[in-house]
Structure 1
Amino acid sequence: MVIFDRINEKEDVSLRPDSTNEKTATLSQSHSHLYGNSTDSTESALPRVSLNSYSTSTASVETSANRRRSFYQRWIDSFKPINLEDDGVDTSRLTPLEKSILASAKHPLARKLKTRHLNMIAIGGSIGTGLFVSSGYALARGGPAAVLIGYIIVGYAVLTMVYSLGELSVQFPVSGSFNAFFTRFIDPSWGFTLAIMYYLSWAISYPSELIACAMTIQFWTTSINPAVYVAIVWVVILVVNFFGVRGYGEVEFVLSIIKVLAVVGFIILGICITCGVGDQGYIGGKYWHDPGAFNHGFKGVCSVFISSAFSFGGVELVALTAAETLQPKISLRRATKQVFWRVTIFYLLTSIVIGCLVPYTNNDLLNGEGIAASPFVIAVNQGGIKVIPHIMNAVIVAAVISVGNSSVYGSSRTLASLAAQGLLPGIFGYIDKEGRPLVAILLSSLLGLLGFLVVNKNEDAVFTWFFSVCSLASFFIWLMVNVTHLRFRYALRRQSRSTNEIIFKSPLGTWGSWTGLFLLLFIICVLIWVSAYPIDVHGSDVVSFWQSCLSLPLLILIWVLHKTYYKTWNQLWIKLEDIDLDTGRREADLDRLKQEIAEEKEKFRAKPFYYKVYHFFC
């Protein structure tokens, strides 16, 4: 199935690989003007300047005033809807699925993210409370060996997902990325269901990050109501997102550098403390023997999975930027490969260092409040280093702001993509002249006002139930990304297409997608088991189960309702031969693309061995 085969027979437009019609390139590029910067063509004319000094002075004042008015006018005009030129495409004969694919391909988001932005988003974009604080909870529940094993297992599953997603996003840099891919390669009902779950994950995470930021700042002073900090951070994040994707990219670039330097510095400091620097003397692997490497056995290892998922959450965000990336062919594949180093350095090495520095019996890991529960702070406090906790606290504040910023970005782009695909009312897909999904940003920001629950004594219980809505969502989304990648590859084969047209191939190929899929299925099953029969509880616990697994029946319910509403029970998934493999490419000339890929492969073969190894990981 190719959308443009059915658009207008008079124009004879086709995106088939064997088509030589020049209108193919014209049509696929007809929306390229949508992604540039929007400028106001109604600039006010400069006033005439008289030769006498008075007139010159007056003219200068008038010019300054006109420039100010022009700036304000441009600023006001930037919030108006983007002007979409009619490309002459008749969509009356398209199916809802075809309209959805076409809409996500030409959604007019601004392409302003550069390679450096994506690299830092990939490396440190979602490092936050999951690594800095929640890793302590995982350590207390499972022990140091369980944390390491959990991060390795979940890390590998995440790596297979990111590689699969990178291949698809470079090939089809469309609005919504994997949310649109679910609709396109599996089924619209799955696309809607998983996108809603993904949106809820970010939307609920945002107010909780605001609360975490307020509680972290209280490490220095408790004389100010934490609601004040929530309000300040909320305004800052809203302003950043009003600067558009470029503002988001620049802020994430700076904050990610801070987080990366902090984690690397902690690893170096942790190694030094383990080797004898500090008040404790030489530690080595002491805590791996006493109190031990494992706590609660196999169930302790399984309990680490949910904390690991929270730590890795947002790693897929780099693919969501595909439609707003200037050069996805270069930037996205580089950023995708950076995830390997993020998994290895920031999670595996950190888990080893933390396991050596903090025993899982430490009381603050489970009972400490805010920053006091962070194994990073506990480790340096035990080492007798006084100033480092303040530095780590500042880093955690920066990390929480970064994740809050990503929450607004991720939820707003998901909402806008759903609207563009026709799965939500069109108002949510409102795009202004600067390429910002304005309504989606405002709605996502308004949900952040739930952060004022920080003044409520029961806010922990409230957010526990909020998070139960999307507790297993990340695992399901990651699993379905691997399914999507497999269906893309098999659709190529079914339609007699070659993998030679794939711009960036997953280093792990379909084998990686299959192993990642089964591994994620295993993780979901054991998490359901641990939720039903939690640690330290004799028998089953209904409350614990629903707090951890409420997302499972909710996911099924949304899918069933969507199927029923649109009456699509006759088709549970799209047939491989009907999958659209062309709409959304930025390279319209398929033959030229194949030639470029072949030339790149030929140059790569001539490179030395060490370069090939470097290229595989970087």
Structure 2
Amino acid sequence: MEKDNQEKAGKSSPPESGEVHDIDYGAETELHRTLGTRHLTMIALGSSIGMGLWLGSGTSLIDGGPAALFLGYLLSGTMIWAVSQSIGEMAVMYPLPSAFVQWSSKFVDPSVGFALGWAYWFSYWITIANELQGVVTVLSFWTSKVPTAAWISIFLVVIVFINVWAVKYFAEVEVAASSIKFSWIIVVIISLIVVSAGGAPDGGPIGFRYWNSMPFTNGFKGFLSIMPTCIFAMSGSENAGLVAAETANPRRAVPRAVGSIWIRLSLFYILGALMVTITVSPEDPNLFGGSGTNASPFVIAYRNAGIPAMADIMNAVIFISVLSTGSISGYGGSRTLMGLSHLGMAPKIFSKADKHGRPLAGLAATLIIGGGLAYLNVSTSGATVFSWLSNLTSLFTLFGWGMICLSHLRMRHAWKIQGRDPADLPWKSGVYPYAPIWGLFWCILLIIVEFYLSVWPLGGSPNAKTFFANYVSVPAIIVAYIVGRLYYRGPWWVDAATVDLDAGRRFYHDVQDEEAKPASSKSLWQKLAFITE
């Protein structure tokens, strides 16, 4: 049984046996709690598996080389592991509409929450634009006769259609799309090992030829230059925190999701990147960002191996992935606006949801701006637009990941100085405080690295255009923070001793598994897609 209990003072009393109740921090949400563990896991994963991996790996291979690409995804993987641990603890106890925005406001400072919320909303519609641009690139593999604007218009309508479905059906679409991605990556890993060993119709054994001849195409600076693409590729995993607000039982769903996300992303990114580096030359002109057809390195690997059917299937899976990530960004953007509105940081219209639990005003704002930005691709090359937008998104992501880790550290600090026992946490990370410290350290360091690369870009000389194209996200965050400071004033930090640790909290006590259903009521995907559990 579950109860909502809002008290004017923002305090709560312990629940009676067998009950769950929570207090919404800022306002009562109209979202429905209809999602389960598999929905939460697959939506978070689906957010991360899109253009960054399938296409962005091509630009990274050119700029950094095989060793740089592999190490870049390895480092990014450790960062998202650290972030997922912080999300796990906080999302179970505080499953709020915009998650990390409200956590930052509660434990760090409202000005930080204001800057983070708007930065993340910017990143969501930037991602929509980037994924729509990716759709154009993917489809150009088959035909270049359809105008770019036509493709963008068609699939923007598709993304809108997916998002205006009831949340339950939206989630099922994402489960299906993510299941396809997971099933196919296993095929990719096995088949490209065979290709590298010389088992393909065309070409002989490849082995680690490219690792031996050109592990780093542009040295250490080349490695640094590909980190924005690696971060962009893994961005979106933090959406597990957002989805927790619409999950029936976060205590069950969130730990399972965050505990497996980084492992599955490692399967995708680390092993996937390794397969690319042993089968595709960094000098292949057809790589995305090169001078040829601008195709995915995965597609090129199959085409060069003389397996055109696999190349076509690979391109189709990429198409599904890119479209899925675009639709999830509409979901994330609308929920972020809802959380901002609940905190009084955005117009009240964004706090409302319809009877199906859809925040339509937030969806409209996110999809209209993201879709409009996608039309930049009409007059500019896809690789150039990708570079601009991924750099913008990666810096927003680094800021977000860093604030999630910092919020976790501050939450635990408040918990400690208020005399509470960590054993009372509904779910506790086994690697605290090392994981959030690790994640925060690398976020700060990479933001500094990006400043260096924006001033002294790879293969170019310092100029204002390159600097602002690559680093404008940071001034935008600073401006948003200053606006927040001018409005909220007060101390620079929230006083940990006065933080209301029960406001917005969901209490758990003797709760039965709310997701359990008779076997006969399970959907087809629940029965078949065992990989999602």
Do both proteins adopt the same fold according to a TM-score greater than 0.5, normalized to the shorter chain? Answer: yes
Offset at residue 454 of structure 1 (A): 5.9
Q: Does 1:206 align with 2:128?
A: yes
Identify which of 462, 466, 485 aligns with 1:563. 485
Distance in 1, Cα, partners of 2:291 & 2:181: 22
Letter in 1 for 2:456: Y
Offset at residue 204 of structure 1 (A): 1.6
Offset at residue 179 of structure 1 (A): 1.2
Letter in 2 for 1:575: D
Distance in 2, Cα, partners of 1:138 & 1:462: 15
Instruction: Tell me which residue corresponds to 1:483.
Output: 406
Indicate conservation of the 8 Å contact 2:55/2:288, yes or no: no
Instruction: Tell me which residue corresponds to 1:501.
Output: 424
Distance in 1, Cα, partners of 2:146 & 2:284: 30
CA deviation map 1:536-562 (0-9, x unaligned): 22x533322221111111111111122
Q: Does 1:403 align with 2:325?
A: yes
Instruction: Tell me which residue corresponds to 1:113.
Output: 35
Indicate conservation of the 8 Å contact 2:96/2:504, yes or no: yes
Structure 1 residues 277-426: aligned runs within 5 Å: 277-278=199-200, 279-290=202-213, 292-365=214-287, 367-368=289-290, 372-426=294-348
Q: Does 1:144 align with 2:77?
A: no
Distance in 1, Cα, partners of 2:391 & 2:53: 20
Distance in 1, Cα, partners of 2:192 & 2:376: 33
- Of structures 1 and 2, the larger Rg is shown by 1
Distance in 2, Cα, partners of 1:480 & 1:199: 15
Letter in 1 for 2:283: T
Letter in 2 for 1:117: H
Distance in 1, Cα, partners of 2:377 & 2:52: 23
CA deviation map 1:445-501 (0-9, x unaligned): 222431662673237567766666545111111011110000111111100001111
Letter in 1 for 2:25: I
Instruction: Tell me which residue corresponds to 1:527.
Output: 450
Offset at residue 247 of structure 1 (A): 2.1
Instruction: Tell me which residue corresponds to 2:354.
Output: 432
Instruction: Tell me which residue corresponds to 2:515.
Output: none
Of structures 1 and 2, the one with the larger relative CO (CA 8 A, separation 6+) is 2
Offset at residue 565 of structure 1 (A): 2.8
RMSD: 2.6
3-state SS, counterpart of residue 198 of structure 2: coil
Name the count of aligned residue pairs.
Answer: 507
Instruction: Tell me which residue corresponds to 1:181.
Output: 103
What TM-score results when the alignment is normalised by the length of structure 1? 0.77
Distance in 2, Cα, partners of 1:243 & 1:457: 32
> What stretches of structure 2 of length at least 5 have no aligned partner?
513-532
Indicate conservation of the 8 Å contact 1:241/1:247, yes or no: no
Identify which of 483, 499, 512 aligns with 1:579. 499
Residues 30 and 534 (structure 1 numbering): CA distance in 2 closer, same or farther, change over 3 Å? closer
Q: Percent identity?
A: 34
Distance in 1, Cα, partners of 2:393 & 2:58: 22
Distance in 2, Cα, partners of 1:527 & 1:275: 38
Distance in 1, Cα, partners of 2:100 & 2:173: 24
Indicate conservation of the 8 Å contact 1:187/1:573, yes or no: yes
Offset at residue 203 of structure 1 (A): 0.9
CA deviation map 1:34-58 (0-9, x unaligned): xxxxxxxxxxxxxxxxxxxxxxxxx
> What stretches of structure 1 of length at least 5 have no aligned partner?
32-99, 597-617
Residues 218 and 575 (structure 1 numbering): CA distance in 2 closer, same or farther, change over 3 Å? same
CA deviation map 1:241-284 (0-9, x unaligned): 12232122111001111111222211111101011111111111
Structure 1 residues 90-105: aligned runs within 5 Å: 101-103=25-27
Offset at residue 147 of structure 1 (A): 1.1
Offset at residue 588 of structure 1 (A): 6.2
Distance in 2, Cα, partners of 1:378 & 1:465: 24
Indicate conservation of the 8 Å contact 1:470/1:550, yes or no: no
Distance in 2, Cα, partners of 1:450 & 1:487: 38
Letter in 2 for 1:415: L
Indicate conservation of the 8 Å contact 1:533/1:540, yes or no: yes
Residues 371 and 389 (structure 1 numbering): CA distance in 2 closer, same or farther, change over 3 Å? farther
Letter in 2 for 1:7: K
Q: Does 1:472 align with 2:469?
A: no
3-state SS, counterpart of residue 287 of structure 2: helix
Offset at residue 402 of structure 1 (A): 0.2
Letter in 2 for 1:560: I
